[in-house]
Amino acid sequence: MGDRFRSATFDDLPSHLILEILTSGARLGGVDLACLELTNSTFRATNLVDFAAFQLSRSHPIYVSLSNRAQEELLARCNGNWKKVLRFLQSVHQSSDIVETSSGNQMQIRSGRYHTLLIKDSTVYSCGSSLCGVLGHGPETTQCVAFTPIKFPYPVRVTHVSASHNHAAFVTNLGEVFTCGDNSSFCCGHGDTNRTIFKPRLVQSLKHIPCKQVAAGVSFTVFLTTEGQVYTCGTNSHGQLGHGDTLDRPTPKLIEPLGSGPVTQIAAGPGFTLAVTNDGTVYSCGSGSNFCLGHGEQHNELRPRVVQWFRRKGIFVVRVSAGDEHVVALDSNGFVTVHTMSSQGRSTGSSSQSDLSKPRKVQFRRCYCGLSAPFSTSWSDKNPRRRYFGCKYWPDSKEDCCFFEWYDDEVSEWYKEVLNQLVYTWGKGYCGALGHGDEIDKTVPALLSSLKNHLAVQVCASKRKTFVLLDNGSVYGFGWMGFGSLGFPDRGVSDKVLKPSMLYSLKDHHICQVSTGLYHSVVVTNRGRIFGFGDNERAQLAHDKLRVCLHPTEILVEGVSEDGGICL
C-alpha cells in the first residue's frame, strides 16, 4: 500500500522522457550537461547526456549548415566529445550575437571609434563621444561618461548592434532596422536627407524586409536579412556595396544572390565588405588595398568574389572579422589560419604538404543511430600502433554501432591537417596584427599555427590588433598595444605584440565576447560582467575620471535609470 504513495524520483522517469527534458528548448549547454553527468548517478550510469548533446548539436543552426565532411572534422577536432561540440557551437553563436549569461542576462557589446554600444536584456546603452550623433541621444549630447539607455521612437527589443566610426545601426527582434549618425553619405539608409541623424530612426525601405544582422563600415552599411540576402547603402567609391559599379546608394539595395547559397554572416571594413554563406564560402568586395580581400592582389572588386584559397583547401568558414587593414577568419573546427606567398609566387604555409586530391585512408561510417564520425577512441592492447574508433551512446546498448581502425602511419596528410587547423589572417601585417611573429603582409589567408592546439570560438579585428577568444573563456591578443587597448599591463602603450599571447589580466574570468575599437577594448564574461581597457579620454569605457585603463577595469551598468546616465 505504501508503495502506491511513494514519491517518484528522477531515477524513476523513463529514458525517453529524460532525454526529451534535456533537449527541449535547446537551452542547455555543453557545460550544463557535463555538470549533470557529474552530479547525478542516473546520468553517470547511462549515456543519456552524450545522446542529448548529440541531438542538440545536430539541431544547432551552425552544425546544420556544415557539410558532412565539415561535421566529421568538427567532431574529430573535439575528440569525439559531443558535449564539447555543443559548447563550441553555442560559444561561436553567442560570441557573434547575444550572450546569455549565467545570471540570466542577454548581452552584446560593440566598440566604435570613440564610443561603445551595449545591449542588455533588449535595451541599448551607449557611452563615449557622440561625434556625428553615434550615441543616439540627440544633438544636445556631446559625450556620455556612463552607459546611458538609448530611446527609440517606440518601444523595441534590440537583438543586434553595430558601431562604426561615424554611425550606428540596430536590429530588433521583429527584424526592423534603426540607424543614427552621420548620414552625409546616406550610410544610414535614409534617402530623404543627408543630414546627421541624432536619434535612432527606422529605415523605411527595409520596413517589410526582416533583418537579423547589420555591419557598419566607414560611410556605408551592410544589412543581412533573415532569408540570407544582403542589402547595402552609402558610399561606394571602391565597389564595397557589391553592385558591380561605384555609384553611391542613398537607400539599401539588394546585392544579386551569391551562388553558394544564403548568407549567414557579414562584416564591414573601412572600404570593403565580407560575407559568409551557409556552405562556408567567403566572399569579398570593395577596396583591395593591403590585400584585405584575400585574393592575392590589390585590385578593387565591384562584385562579391569568392576567396578561392578557402575553397581549394576545402575549409568551411563560419565567422570573419574585418579590421581596418586586415581580416581574421574562423573555420568550422575552431581554427584560425594565415597563408603566405613564396618569392616564386607559389602558395606556401604551415600545411603546405596537404593535398585534397590524395586518397583518404580514414573512412567514416554512418551507423544506424545516425552518427557519421568517431565518437570515442582507444588504443588496442594487442597492437599499440593501431587506433580504434567506435560509437557508444545508446543508453540500452553497450555494443558499438560502428567500428573501424587504421594504423597511425596510414593516416593521410589531409586527416592530420584536419586535427591541426585553427584561425586564418590576411592583409597588412604592420605591428604584428596578423600574429605570425613578423610584420609581413599576407596576400591570401594563412594558418595561425601558434594557436593550432586551441579551440577558438570568436575572432575580432580592429586597427592593427586582433583578439582570439577560446572555448575555455581565455583571450589571446596580438598587434599594436594602442594606448593599452591590447590588454597587456606590463607592456608599453605603443609596443607591438607579434605573436598571440594570452591576456593573463583576464585569467580569472570566463570571457564570452570581445570587441575592440580604435584605442579601447571591452569584454563580457559568462557572469554578465563587463571589463574595459585602453584609452578612456572620451569616456568610451564609461568611467568619468580615468584617462586610460591599462588593467581591465570593470564597467558597471546596474543602477542606470530610464532617465539616463551622465551625459554632457
Strand order in the sheet with 338-341: 347-348, 338-341, 444-445
Q: What is the pLDDT of residue 95?
A: 64
The 3-state secondary structure of 95-144 reads HHCCEECCCCCEEEEEECCCEEEEEECCEEEEEEECHHHCCCCCCCCCEE
Q: What is the pLDDT of residue 348?
A: 36
For the CA atoms of 202, 205, 211, 217, the dihedral, rounded to the nearest 10 degrees, stands at -80
Reference 60, options 26, 108, 28; nearest CA is 26
Report the mean per-residue pLDDT for the chain.
Answer: 81
Show the low-confidence residues of the chain (pLDDT under 50).
Answer: 1-2, 45, 337-421, 560-563
Retrieve residue 18's grid coordinates.
Answer: 529524460
- Pairing mode of beta strands 496-502, 475-480: antiparallel
How far is the C-alpha of 68 from the C-alpha of 363, rounded, in Å? 13
Residue 390: beta bridge partners?
376, 403
Q: Which long-range contacts (CB under 8 A, 24 or more apart) does 374-380 make?
A: 374/75, 374/76, 374/80, 375/50, 375/75, 375/80, 375/82, 376/80, 377/79, 377/80, 380/405
Q: What is the pLDDT of residue 343?
A: 33
Retrieve residue 211's grid coordinates.
Answer: 533583418
Contact 269, 217 (CB under 8 A): yes
How many angstroms separate the first and last alpha carbons of the chain? 75
60-108 per-position pLDDT tens digit: 888 887 778 778 888 887 878 888 888 888 777 776 688 888 778 899 9
Angle among Cα 566, 558, 157 to the nearest 5 degrees reads: 90
How far is the C-alpha of 242 from the C-alpha of 217, rounded, in Å? 13
Q: Give, in order, the Cα–Cα distances in Å from 332 to each of 74, 269, 338.
A: 6, 22, 16
Q: What is the pLDDT of residue 29?
A: 64
Q: Centre a 10 Å sphere on the Cβ of residue 245 and count the other Cβ atoms it contains.
A: 12
Global confidence as pTM: 0.79
